[in-house]
Amino acid sequence: MRNHRGFSLIELLVVLMIMTIVTGGIYKLLNSTQRISRAQTERIDLQSNVRSASIVVPNELREINNVVGGTASQIDIIAKSDTSIQYRAMRGMGFVCTGTTSTQLRLSNWTGYRAAQSTDQVYVFNDGAKTSIGSDDSWDTRQLTGNPVAGNTCAVGIPATTLPIADLGRVPNIGDPVRTFEVMVLSLYENGGQRWLGMQSVSTGGALQPLLGPLAPTNGIRFTYLDANGAVTAVNANIRSIVVSVNGVSSLKVSKGGNANNQYLAEAITTQVALRNALR
């Protein structure tokens, strides 16, 4: 009769111990790889978010018109604070051509970010009584009373954009510039326990929509308003540039290496924007 010998208890324990060590090493390696991958993904998202802020926000603010010492119609900043700004955002521009009346602007060479909408307002240039000087020039503001009218042309057959407006009380001169705008707000706000920079169209009555984030809870966004000498000013008519400081954070806490506790990543960027017509 054969003697079939199995594994002893000691042999089984040794095998189990070796398997435990190997499995533990593999788990530690996979866990470390996962933590590094998650941290890299969060850092890439954070850097992309902050870089987007350095492009989108300055591009929006760069169109703000601010004639130093000018009238209210020449200053596009309506209200401001260190975490928000309300302003007239220019959306298009054209030049008065034949066919224009006091309630209908017929424009040639239309260009802009988008087509005019019924919720937009217009700036219509007024050359004043003395056409040879600029001291009596101004911009008249009117609300559009409907959507643009298609199919019209100027006298020489050039395609035209026709905007119906509230009565201007005068007929603009041929060649006068006209700009369309909507009132916008950029503001820091909180949602879901995190801070975001939101954008809102006051003209259309839209709600505040997230533009970028999440941002740092205490100094996520800062608008600093500077005069010609680079000093902070609270007077809208004296603002020549705006410094935008963005401090972004990652959506999740991640490991920064070693045995340190998981933490939010942070990234900051600062951009200075010179306003249109705010001559130095």
The mean per-residue pLDDT over the stretch 230-249 comes to: 89
Which helix or strand (DSSP H or E) is residue 111 part of?
A: strand 104-112
Is pLDDT of 279 > 80?
A: no
- pLDDT band for position 83 (cuts 50, 70, 90): very high
Which range, of 34-48, 133-147, 175-189, averages the lowest pLDDT?
Answer: 34-48
Reported confidence tier of residue 81, pLDDT bands at 50, 70, 90: very high
> Can you give the pLDDT at residue 211?
83
CB 204 within 8 A of CB 192: no
Cβ–Cβ under 8 Å, residues 220 and 234: no
Residue found under tokens 């969060």: 42
d(CA 73, CA 64): 12
Range scoring the smallest mean pLDDT among 46-50, 99-103, 158-162, 225-229: 46-50
Asked if residues 248 and 46 have their Cβ atoms less than 8 Å apart, the reply is: yes
Q: Which DSSP letter does residue 148 get?
A: P
Burial (CB count within 10 angstroms: exposed 0-12, middle 13-18, buried 19+), residue 157: exposed
Mean pLDDT of the chain: 82
* pLDDT-wise least confident of 9-23, 72-86, 236-250: 9-23
The reported pLDDT for the residue numbered 168 is 92
**For the chain, what percent of residues have pLDDT higher than 90?**
21
Give yes or no for a contact between 105 and 120, defined as CB atoms under 8 angstroms apart. no
Residue 68 reports pLDDT greater than 70: no
**C-alpha span between 65 and 277 (Å, rounded):** 6
The yes-or-no verdict on residue 205 having pLDDT over 60 is yes
- pLDDT tier at 52, thresholds 50, 70, 90: confident
Q: Which of 2-6, 195-199, 208-212, 248-252 has the lowest mean pLDDT?
A: 2-6
pLDDT in tens, 97-130: 988 999 999 998 888 888 888 999 998 988 766 5
For the cut 60, the answer to whether the pLDDT of residue 46 exceeds it is: yes
pTM, two decimals, is 0.75
